[in-house]
Structure 1
Amino acid sequence: MSEPINEPILEMMYAFICNYIREKGFAPSIRDIARGCYMTPGNVHRYLDRLEGKRLITRQPGVARSIRLADHQDAE
């Protein structure tokens, strides 16, 4: 089960990722997220680590656009 987000920046990033996947059918790149959330790629990596730690997303190291939403419905 995932933890609640309770952080505006994480909520914004998670919503961006969800909307991007829903609209385009594939995961955003780090640059897409950086542009869409007005942050640096380094900060994107840090916040993705936190979303992954909260079990809201999964990623495959070394694979581009590998962000996947967790399978549970309570994440949104």
Structure 2
Amino acid sequence: MAYRNILSDPVTRAVYEYIRDRIEQDSCPPTLREIARACYIGRSTLMRHLDRLEAYGAIYREANIARGIRLGDKEPPFDED
């Protein structure tokens, strides 16, 4: 799988950065609804981007937990603008 191509998507980047920033600021991950609203995307679109981030190892998700997103061991290799 070509992770660089997947993770260079600007929406995937926005989702990851929002999650990372919220965890750094609040010491608490955001809910799916909060992420979707902040990134101006629907929940199904959000799930696709979270799947990409999780497959890469940038995040981990705990099922059935409202704030169950944790940062992973790998920071995504986003292309620099």
Same fold (TM over 0.5): yes
Q: Which amino acid aligns with 1:52?
A: E
> What is the match of residue 7 of structure 1?
9
Instruction: Give unmatched runs, 5+ long, in structure 1.
Output: none
Q: Which residue of 2 aligns with 1:19?
A: 21
Partner in structure 1 of residue 79 of structure 2: none
Structure 1 stretches of at least 4 aligned residues deviating more than 3 Å after TM superposition: none
Shift, 1:71, TM fit: 2.7
1:2-54, Cα deviation, whole Å (9 max, x unpaired)? x4422111111101110111111101001100111000112111211111011
Q: Return the alpha-carbon distance in structure 2 between the equivalents of residues 63 and 16 of structure 1.
A: 18
Q: Taking every aligned residue pair, what percent have the same amino acid on both sides? A: 35
Query: What is the TM-score normalised by the length of structure 1?
Result: 0.84
Aligned residues: 72
| Amino acid in structure 1 at the alignment position of 2:24 | R
